[in-house]
Structure 1
């Protein structure tokens, strides 16, 4: 799914969580930025700069309140960096780094055992 930031910017986060009222049907391929609750990027060697720098800048400028970045620690373990938008600066502030488990209440309650990812 792409996120419509403006007429010429439609990035595709690896995972997108949108408000239920934004879903219009199974054939929908894009959502406006104001419908996105959370954008998640999984960093890979060929997308490193784009996922760490460019996409977060675009999402923040578009007003997407929550951004998560998932990386490999080099040993096959996932690290999740969680950011929240600072509306005054339109930039993200790091609010948490998670290694074995992600357990948060914002933007919604979720509890994920990151050690299980290695089993997939």
Structure 2
């Protein structure tokens, strides 16, 4: 077994050695770079086992299958944002953001620099390339989407964050902006039927149309 020596925890990227400890994490922990080196199959040959996984505070988190509401919201919100974004920005869905050595979440939607979005070889974006992160809350991810991930986005300096909740089949969007003095998000609005905001660029979305 290839076990790294003391002091090597920051540079270890040998995923095959890490999987020797499965299902426990390796003693040196998972890193953000490990996600680019995970095998196509699971430890017991399961197909696409690592296809939908993110790293939250050093722990691998497997994302559950999406419900139809969740899938529609992601697709239609991405389309709405991308159609209104200025030329230097683009909206993309379900791409990782590398926030740190042990933090690589996968927001449902992000608005990023168009130059970064045009690079088809990218597997993640960096916080300085992200202008807005959006999470569509699902039952299995409530704590992560409402607490853990927003706080990490704020700590990384991502200026704008939206949280989308399912209220009886209708979306409610909670809009947050980073307070540079506290490095925490402040709620700037709760939108039910129609969302209109001036930042990160002028956006108007008819929320009632999104889940259809």
Indicate the TM-score class for this superposition, using the shorter chain for normalisation.
over 0.9
TM-score (normalizing by structure 1): 0.93
Equivalent in 187, 192, 198 of residue 99 of structure 1: 192
Hey, what's the Cα distance between the residues in 1 that align with 2:193 and 2:103?
34
Once the two structures are superposed, the pairs formed by residues 79-90 of structure 1 within 5 Å of their partners are 79-90=172-183
Hey, what's the Cα distance between the residues in 1 that align with 2:159 and 2:105?
16
Equivalent in 68, 82, 107 of residue 13 of structure 1: 107
Hey, what's the Cα distance between the residues in 2 that align with 1:24 and 1:80?
28
- Of structures 1 and 2, the one scoring higher in RCO (CA 8 A, sep 6+) is 1
Runs of 4+ in structure 1 off by over 6 angstroms are: none
Equivalent in 125, 146, 164 of residue 52 of structure 1: 146
Hey, what's the Cα distance between the residues in 2 that align with 1:81 and 1:21?
28
Of structures 1 and 2, the larger Rg is shown by 2
* Cα drift, residue 23 of structure 1: 3.5
Matched positions, count: 118
TM-score (normalizing by structure 2): 0.54
Equivalent in 96, 119, 122 of residue 28 of structure 1: 122
The aligned residue for residue 70 of structure 1 is 164
Q: Considering only aligned residues, what root-mean-square deviation do their CA atoms show, in Å? A: 1.1
Q: Which consecutive residues of structure 2, in runs of 5 or more, have no partner in the other structure?
A: 1-94
Which has the larger share of strand?
Answer: 1
Q: Which moved more, 1:105-114 or 1:36-45?
A: 105-114
The secondary structure found in structure 2 opposite 1:5 is coil
Q: Which consecutive residues of structure 1, in runs of 5 or more, have no partner in the other structure?
A: none
The secondary structure found in structure 1 opposite 2:120 is coil
